[in-house]
Amino acid sequence: MIARMWRGFALPEKADDYVRHLQMSVLPELRQIEGFRGVTLMRQDSAQDVEFIVLTFWESMDAIHKFAGEHAEVAVVAPAAQSLFREYDATVRHFEVVLNAQ
């Protein structure tokens, strides 16, 4: 399994809007892609902004390419989400998941 990591910094007043966007727009789209295995959204609030780290999980790099296209390292940030962030990563990182325990 491959984890795809992306990070963005939202303005505090727009942070909840991003969570809704992920739940209502992005997640239904991801669920339609063969090889998508799940998502984890992490949030850390500060006085200036809200940092989000998004981890999506994929069966393989081939599955990631179905979502991200040929250049899998380029972040996919919908225009509706871009306006919610003060700053966000233009690229993503991919990691092989070697242990996933609860």
* pLDDT surpassing 90 at residue 47: no
Q: Provide the b/e sequence for 70-86 (b: ≥16 CB within 10 Å).
A: eebeeebbeeebeebbe
Q: What is the pLDDT of residue 45?
A: 95
For the chain, the distance separating the N- and C-terminal CA atoms, rounded to the nearest angstrom, is 16
Ranges of beta strands (E only) in the chain are 2-10, 36-45, 50-58, 85-88, 93-96
CA–CA dist 100, 72 (Å, integer): 23
Q: What is the mean pLDDT of the chain?
A: 95
CA–CA dist 37, 43 (Å, integer): 20
Domain ranges of the chain: 2-94
Please provide the CATH number assigned to the domain covering 2-94: 3.30.70.100
pLDDT average, residue stretch 78-87: 92
pLDDT level of residue 86 (50, 70, 90 thresholds) = very high
Express each pLDDT in 24-41 by its tens digit.
999 999 999 999 999 999
